[in-house]
Amino acid sequence: MRSAFVSLVGRPNVGKSTLINALVGKKVSIVSNKPQTTRTRVRGILNKDDTQLVFVDTPGLHKATTALGERVNATALESMRDVDIVCLLIDATQTFGTGDQWVSEQLNIKNAIVVINKIDAVSPAKLLAQLSAISSLGAAEYFPLSAKTGEGVDQLVAELVKRAPLGQAMYPPEMTSETPQAQWVAELVREQLLAVTRDELPYSIATRVTEWEWPRVRCEIVVERESQKGMVIGKSGSVLKSVGIEVRKQMPEGAFLELFVVVDKDWQRRADRVERLGY
């Protein structure tokens, strides 16, 4: 038996969460087109032959300007330590630059695997130019792939299996995620809200399940200002309603999901509130 912890790190929005879902073959981490969607360490488990790979999805490393930003950066940096393999993700559609360089300096790049993601969205010429720029990092291995289409994902898995050290399985074989059900529902609510909000609002939203008396589930949506409440609720509750419909589709049948919006003034800037919200 072999097993390995594999951490997925990189700047915000490079596709770390999309990739963990593709690797596990099941949605274990929420995704959005807004940077800084992932706020906690998320694990996803893949069993392949006699190897168990435990993937660790992490928040994107960025220049933090709030207590929340500092907290999630610390989570990302911690998640790189004590793992067997680090995969550094780079977005093929963005120019390789100082941000990626900085992230690469936070890890032992010589042992790391560099994943160039989103190859479905660039021309072969652009990809070649990117690969040649990125090769200056001096990583052990480079894997161009598309987390979205799945192209190249199997090749990465094969390499990870090859690198996994001998060891016991850490999770039972049927387990793909360790996120508690209530927390997962809160994340699904936040994912839907991220899809319909803009500007600074996505960063102001936190969600948490405050009651779980199946089939009744109560989820609180926390915003930072009174003025944001209306945007989350929508005209006669239209936004909340559509969020509820989309989330219920992803819950076991029969769920009765109640959504409430509350204001916690400037929570994102206050370390104690950030911690209380579970980040």
Ligand X SMILES: Nc1nc2c(ncn2[C@@H]2O[C@H](COP(=O)(O)OP(=O)(O)O)[C@@H](O)[C@H]2O)c(=O)[nH]1
Supply the DSSP symbol for 11: S
38 versus 146: smaller Cβ distance to Mg ion: 38
35 versus 167: smaller Cβ distance to Mg ion: 35
DSSP, collapsed to helix, strand or coil, labels residue 45 as strand
Using alpha carbons only, how large is the chain's radius of gyration in Å?
19
- Residue 12 binding result from ligand X, Mg ion, none, given CB thresholds of 5 to 8 Å by partner type: ligand X
17 versus 52: smaller Cβ distance to Mg ion: 17
In whole angstroms, give the CA distance from residue 91 to residue 94. Answer: 6
37 versus 192: smaller Cβ distance to Mg ion: 37
Parallel, antiparallel, or unpaired: how do β-strands 85-91 and 113-117 relate? parallel
| Complete DSSP assignment for 178-227 | ---HHHHHHHHHHHHHHHH--TTHHHH-EEEEEEEETTEEEEEEEESSHH
What phi, psi does 251 have (nearest 5°)? -105, 160
- Residue 18 binding result from Mg ion, ligand X, none, given CB thresholds of 5 to 8 Å by partner type: ligand X
For Mg ion, which residue of 3, 21, 38, 177 counts as binding (CB under 5 A)?
Answer: 38
Residue 35 tokens read as 């940077």
In whole angstroms, give the CA distance from residue 218 to residue 229. Answer: 17
45 versus 103: smaller Cβ distance to ligand X: 103
- Residue 120 binding result from ligand X, Mg ion, none, given CB thresholds of 5 to 8 Å by partner type: ligand X
**Nearest distance in Å: CB 99, ligand X:** 12
In whole angstroms, give the CA distance from residue 44 to residue 189. Answer: 20
- Residue 144 binding result from Mg ion, ligand X, none, given CB thresholds of 5 to 8 Å by partner type: none
**Nearest distance in Å: CB 265, ligand X:** 27
In whole angstroms, give the CA distance from residue 65 to residue 94. Answer: 23
How many residues of this chain interact with Mg ion, rule: CB under 5 A? Answer: 4
38 versus 192: smaller Cβ distance to Mg ion: 38
The residue ranges that bind ligand X (CB under 6 A) are 12-18, 31-33, 37-38, 60, 117-118, 120-121, 146-148
51 versus 104: smaller Cβ distance to ligand X: 104
- CB–CB of 35/238 below 8 Å? no
* 21 is an interface residue for Mg ion by CB under 5 A: no
For Mg ion, which residue of 3, 7, 17, 104 counts as binding (CB under 5 A)?
Answer: 17
**Nearest distance in Å: CB 7, ligand X:** 13
Which residue of this chain has its Cβ atom nearest to ligand X in the complex? 15
- CB–CB of 273/267 below 8 Å? yes
- Residue 121 binding result from ligand X, Mg ion, none, given CB thresholds of 5 to 8 Å by partner type: ligand X
Parallel, antiparallel, or unpaired: how do β-strands 85-91 and 141-144 relate? unpaired
Give residues in contact with Mg ion (CB under 5 A): 16-17, 37-38
